[in-house]
Amino acid sequence: MPTKNHELTEAEWEIIKAVWDNQPCTAPAVQELLQRLKGWHYSTVKTMMDRMVAKGLLKQEKIRNLTLYRSVITKKEAQTCEIMRTVKRAFNGALTPMMQFLLENKDLSHDELSGLEAMIKSKKEKTKRKNSL
The pTM assigned to this predicted structure is: 0.79
pLDDT of 2 > 50? The answer is: no
For CA atoms 39, 14, 44, 69, the dihedral sign is negative
Q: How confident is the model at residue 22 (pLDDT cuts 50, 70, 90)?
A: very high
For CA atoms 73, 78, 79, 83, the dihedral sign is positive
CB under 8 Å to 75, separation ≥6 — which residues? 20
Q: Are 60 and 68 in contact (CB under 8 A)?
A: yes
pLDDT of 4 > 90? The answer is: no
HSE value, Cβ hemisphere, 13 Å, CA-based, for 94: 6
For the segment 38-57, what is each residue's pLDDT rounded down to a tens digit?
999 999 999 999 999 999 99
Q: Report the interhelical angle of 27-38 vs 10-22 (nearest 10°).
A: 120
